Amino acid sequence: MLCIDRIALREIHLALKEPFRISSGIESTRRILLLEIADRGGASVWAECVAQALPNYTPETIDTAWLAIREWLAPRLLGRSLDGPDIVHDLLAENIRGHNMAKAALEMGAWGLASEMQRVPLSKLLGGTRDRVPTGISLGIQSAPERLVERARAAVDAGYRKIKLKIQPTQDVDYVRAVRRALGDDVEIMADANAAYTIADAEHLAQLDEFHLIMLEQPLGADDLLQLAELQRRMKTPLCLDESITDLNRARSMIELGSGRIINIKPGRVGGFTASKAIHDLCEKAGIPVWCGGMLETGVGRAYNVALASLPNFSLPGDLSPSARYWRQDVVSPEWTMDAEGMVHVPQDKPGLGVTVDAEFIESLTTRVETLRGTSTQVAV
Ligand code: OSB
Ligand code: MG
């Protein structure tokens, strides 16, 4: 039984070691929404909302998420006795459309809190079966193919099990070709277009087939399931959907229409763990591999992703890079690391996130805080 009696929203600013460019925008210093969720009994947990500063990946932003949590979502949970975290998804879904990242921050936080209270590792609570999960790296768009080749080579040397190349029109075939030639045929390479193309580009995109990519992620718009199905018929490379998959039903549509053959599950994008598990189970039955995507999370969000990625059908390497790939200093200790075989270790002996959150460091990065309680709210700056 959970009874959440306090939710603190906190915005922190954390500089990426280097800017991350994708077709829909660039991130340099991240504005990040962290939540602290406390149970009436004294237990508490940190959670992360993965919405970004601008609505270029999904319609949400950190500011819309803040509003949605304060006005509509947190009031549904505060002061209420909850049988368990598995009922939170439906509680937050009823007559509140969208705002999946805002919902997910609370829903995953409820799982984290339950894990703390039951003294069970989060991965165990979710049904995870593995104690190590393979990781890939996601490389942003570079100024020239040679720059990308350098990055990709360094990533292979570091042990990464999958190299994801961000592409966009005019920076695509030449970049992928350069990396495939430099790394040889044994390295698992994929590309991610973040919805930058239309079906009119089908012939152009089909040129990627010759590079034997393990997949091409989200080449067309999020809502273009029919066009994606047509593109899949015209390409050998398996398509993987990211932005398109916003819930279980979208995953069903993808499978039935043939709009893709692989799914990138980001728990934030689908509204949390319950939806992620449902998509995972559906895909397992349908023979569709899934993997865990990343959103440049801090070590808090990463803890949730690593736990999820320990489920059995997460059979491809996730975007689960170590802390040091993103930050000079992460907000957790120990920081997330990867072994020489490109595996991230899933915490087995600690409940909750499995890492310690550095509240003092977070305090020093904080630009605003708002604490929500059962009946009243109080604002502090
Ligand atoms: O499309 O997967 C994406 C980051 C921000 C927004 C969208 C995406 C990404 C990544 C980053 O690829 C993956 C990571 O966290 O390492
Ligand atoms: Mg993607």
CB 14, CB 28: distance < 8 Å: no
d(CA 306, CA 135): 10
Q: What is the pLDDT of residue 381?
A: 40
Q: Is the CB of 330 under 6 A from ligand 1?
A: no
d(CA 147, CA 150): 5
- Ligand 2 centroid from CA 291, angstroms: 11
- 306, two tokens: 């690593």
Helices marked H in 219-290: 225-234, 248-257, 267-270, 273-286
**Terminal C-alpha separation, the chain:** 33
Q: What is the pLDDT of residue 375?
A: 66
- Ligand 2 centroid from CA 96, angstroms: 25
Closest CA to 201 of 234, 239, 241: 234
Q: What is the pLDDT of residue 374?
A: 82
- 179, two tokens: 């990396």
d(CA 302, CA 111): 14
Closest ligand to the CA of 165: 1
CA 167 centroid distance within chain: 19
- 96, two tokens: 């509140």
d(CA 166, CA 21): 8
Q: Is the CB of 138 under 6 A from ligand 1?
A: yes
CB 193, CB 167: distance < 8 Å: yes
- Ligand 1 centroid from CA 223, angstroms: 19
In the residue annotation, 277 being an active-site residue is answered as no
- Ligand 2 centroid from CA 305, angstroms: 15
Domain 2-119+356-380 in CATH 3.30.390.10:
yes
* CA angle, residues 251, 94, 70, in degrees to nearest 5: 105
* Choice among 103, 162, 164, 166 that is catalytic: 166
CB 78, CB 5: distance < 8 Å: yes
Q: What is the pTM of this model?
A: 0.96
What residue ranges do the domains of the chain occupy?
A: 2-119+356-380, 124-345
d(CA 37, CA 352): 12
d(CA 142, CA 4): 45
Q: What is the CATH number of domain 124-345?
A: 3.20.20.120
Ligand 1 pocket test, pick from 137, 290, 319 with the greatest ligand atom count within 8 Å of Cβ, gives 319
pLDDT along the chain (381 residues), means of 10: 96 97 95 98 97 97 98 97 97 97 98 97 97 98 98 98 98 98 98 98 98 98 98 98 98 98 98 98 98 98 98 97 98 97 96 96 98 66 40
d(CA 133, CA 346): 7
- Taking only Cα atoms into account, the Rg of the chain, rounded to an integer number of angstroms, comes to 20
DSSP character at residue 89: H
In the residue annotation, 266 being an active-site residue is answered as yes
Q: What is the pLDDT of residue 380?
A: 44
